[in-house]
Amino acid sequence: MSKKVAMDDIVSLCKRRGFIYQGSEVYGGLAGTWDYGPLGVQLKRHIMDLWWKTFVDNRDDMYGVDAAILMNQKVWQASGHVDTFNDPLIEDVETKRRYRLDHLLEDNGVNPEGMTLEQMAKTIQDKDIRSPDGNELGNARQFNMMFETKIGPMADTIAINLSRDNIEKLYEKGGDFTSYLTSENVDKTGPHVVFLRPETAQGIFTNYKNIVDSFYPDLPFGIAQMGKAFRNEISPRDFVFRSREFEQMEVEYFVHPDNWQEQFEQWRTDIKSFLSQLGLPEDSVHEHEVPEDDRAHYSERTIDFMFDYPHKSDELLGLAYRTDFDLKNIQDHSGKSMEYIVKGGGERFIPHVIEPSFGVERAIMAVLVSAFTQDEVNGEARNYLKLPTHLAPYRVAVSPLLKNKEELVKKAREVYDLLKKEFGNVAWDDNGNIGKRYRRQDEIGTPHCVVIDFDTIEKDGTVTVRNRDTTEQERVSIDELTQKLN
């Protein structure tokens, strides 16, 4: 059984120690947005770097891309997001507050899996489920989660479709375009509307042909991307778990349709191995075979990897078999062939796709929950983060025993510089007494603390190295320090 960690413990540690703050907090916040502080940035970078190293750098069948967040509107029409990227919404008739209909059902003990919008709405009525404020709920409807914005200088006024003929007339009139603001010239849904990408995947699919043309890789091969995604979540909640702005790490793995099952199984194994590198205990991760009715519109098979979060066991990442859905749609909408031609002029076909899709915020939360540990040291309760060394914000902290002894500080600075050169992420900590420093570093997950004391400068040139997990201390000579910490 995995241990129970309270959400409040994680949220308060994140704020207090500079991992994660509420977005725009100084102005009262903006729901569903979060800012990363100095330690959060480090942790997040380490997770993302590990992912990139594991799935891109360490393999020879993978190509990285970094596509633009703003993409041609046709991308989201072809992908099906304009028509189907919806969540069910219901409104409190009194307060006008909006809620995720399926979440309200779950909160009232009803499992909404497999239910249509109408079935969910009927259950609300039949069971007389009220809003969290105790009010009646109105009509249910689908809500598209894509954020929309406008592009170009016409955006703040209106977009006008000017024909070449009209443009010439406009110049004749000295540039006065107001006479052309007729309904036939005004294009309300025109190309000036763009969406903030709700998944990084489409930036991969739209570059599939570029990668094939530039590199002509053998199948199977993958294209990887990590970066921001945006979803207008009806009710963001559970800390960073459901945010409106978040990061994804996605691979689209292109395979021959005949052997997608084999590749799917391989990804299942590779995902589990990555999760163990994140330090997640095996018994806190559960695979959920998503039933057909609940799968995304593009998927013929999905396994959700669930993690035991403090709020409940919930989706950490998804592994989907997207068939040729995306490339086929791009081919149909763009008129450009997405066929792969096997080298030597062999078989031609549109590859099928296996997609492991990781959410960075959900990985961060899972890492923090897994690492959060409570024990007792010398009769006192202690909270600490038992983070894997490769994820810890700081690899090691360096302290002079006393901060007002110049000779100790000088030597400690030398040791700090040495370690900084080796590891980069090294903390200088001379605040408060040694006990307080250890507690602080334990709480942010620093695996080792190095202390320079009078023995270092007067006796044998050794320093104290203290282990976060065991709290044991040993003396190590400065010459052997980097080796010891490696």
Of positions 222, 351, 359, 447, contacts ligand GAP by CB under 6 A: 359
Nearer to ligand GAP, 246 or 438 (CB): 246
87 touching ligand GAP, by CB under 6 A: no
Decide: residue 6, CB within 10 A, 0-12 exposed, 13-18 middle, 19+ buried: exposed
323 touching ligand GAP, by CB under 6 A: no
233 touching ligand GAP, by CB under 6 A: yes
Q: Give the shortest CB-322-to-ligand GAP separation in angstroms.
A: 8
- Sort strands 396-400 and 426-428 into parallel, antiparallel or unpaired: parallel
DSSP letter for each residue of 250-315: EEEEEE-GGGHHHHHHHHHHHHHHHHHHTT--GGGEEEEE--GGGS-TT-SEEEEEEEE-SS-EEE
Q: Give the shortest CB-329-to-ligand GAP separation in angstroms.
A: 14
Q: Write out the E strands in 342-385.
A: 348-349, 352-359, 372-377, 380-385
Of positions 217, 222, 318, 351, contacts ligand GAP by CB under 6 A: 318
Task: Identify residues 190-209 at the interface with ligand GAP (CB under 6 A).
Answer: 199, 201
DSSP letter for each residue of 132-192: TTS--EEEEEEEE---EEE-STTTTS--B---HHHHHHHHHTTS--GGG--TTTB-TTSTT
Which structure tokens are listed for 426? 């090294």
Of positions 44, 46, 192, 362, contacts ligand GAP by CB under 6 A: 362
Of positions 91, 361, 442, 453, contacts ligand GAP by CB under 6 A: 361
Q: Give the shortest CB-429-to-ligand GAP separation in angstroms.
A: 33
Nearer to ligand GAP, 227 or 447 (CB): 227
Q: Give the shortest CB-96-to-ligand GAP separation in angstroms.
A: 23
Interatomic CA distance for residues 209 and 201, integer angstroms? 14
Task: Identify residues 442-471 at the interface with ligand GAP (CB under 6 A).
Answer: none
Q: What backbone phi and psi angles, to 5 degrees, belong to 158?
A: -165, 150
Interatomic CA distance for residues 122 and 139, integer angstroms? 10
Interatomic CA distance for residues 330 and 203, integer angstroms? 12
Nearer to ligand GAP, 233 or 308 (CB): 233
Nearer to ligand GAP, 303 or 434 (CB): 303
Q: Give the shortest CB-245-to-ligand GAP separation in angstroms.
A: 8
Nearer to ligand GAP, 236 or 393 (CB): 236
The contacts of residue 261 (CB under 8 Å, 6+ apart) are none
How many residues bind ligand GAP (CB under 6 A)? The answer is: 18
Of positions 17, 100, 231, 466, contacts ligand GAP by CB under 6 A: 231
Question: What letters, b where the CB count within 10 A reaches 16 and e where it falls short, cover 86-103?
Answer: ebbbbbbeeeeebbbbbb
Q: Give the shortest CB-321-to-ligand GAP separation in angstroms.
A: 12
Rg (CA), the chain: 27
Nearer to ligand GAP, 180 or 241 (CB): 241
393 touching ligand GAP, by CB under 6 A: no
Of positions 317, 350, 364, 419, contacts ligand GAP by CB under 6 A: 317
- Looking up tokens 């409106």, which residue turns up? 244
Nearer to ligand GAP, 323 or 446 (CB): 323
Binding site for ligand GAP (CB under 6 A): 199, 201, 231, 233, 242-243, 246, 248, 250, 315, 317-318, 355, 357-359, 361-362
